[in-house]
Amino acid sequence: MTYLGLDLGSKTIGVAISESGIIAHTLTTLRFREDDYEEALKLTVNLVNEHQAKIVVLGLPKHMNNDIGIRGKISESFREELMKKGIDCILWDERLSTKTALQTMAKGSEKRGKQKAKKDELAAVLILQNYLDYKGANHVTR
């Protein structure tokens, strides 16, 4: 079963993929006009179809106090639109995923420009991997 992980921004969507349901890895960054979520939706649906993804895990940005702000509401609306297209989409708490992605890359040897370009994909990997780890831990037979 193929999973896609999404880190939705105002101009980009970082995308991760897992074909095994165990390990997530970077796939691509989709780019769209700022705040044009209809275009973002079309790009996402095309990618879901291309990779025959069964489940999309969409990052849900929350404030540290658990409140959902404007970015979180945009993600909730985006999920609703994906669901209307028949795509199974799970919202996943993404707090600190972009920060963790940037910290991870800062420890590496990539230049700043490349780091910025890859941060959305790495954030998507963290979102998807956290979901897969949670799912795996809760479906272990004893």
What is the model's pTM? 0.85
pLDDT for 26-76, tens place per residue? 999 999 999 999 999 999 999 999 999 999 999 999 877 888 989 999 999
Q: Answer whether residue 142 shows pLDDT above 60.
A: no
Domains and CATH numbers, the chain: 3-137 (3.30.420.140)
- 125's enclosing H/E stretch is helix 112-137
> Helix (H, G, I), strand (E, B), or coil: what is residue 114?
helix
d(CA 62, CA 81): 20
> Helix (H, G, I), strand (E, B), or coil: what is residue 93?
strand
Q: Residue 97's pLDDT is what?
A: 56
Q: Is 130 left (phi over 0), alpha (psi -120 to 50) or beta?
A: alpha
Q: Residue 136's pLDDT is what?
A: 87
Across the range 6-18, mean pLDDT stands at 97
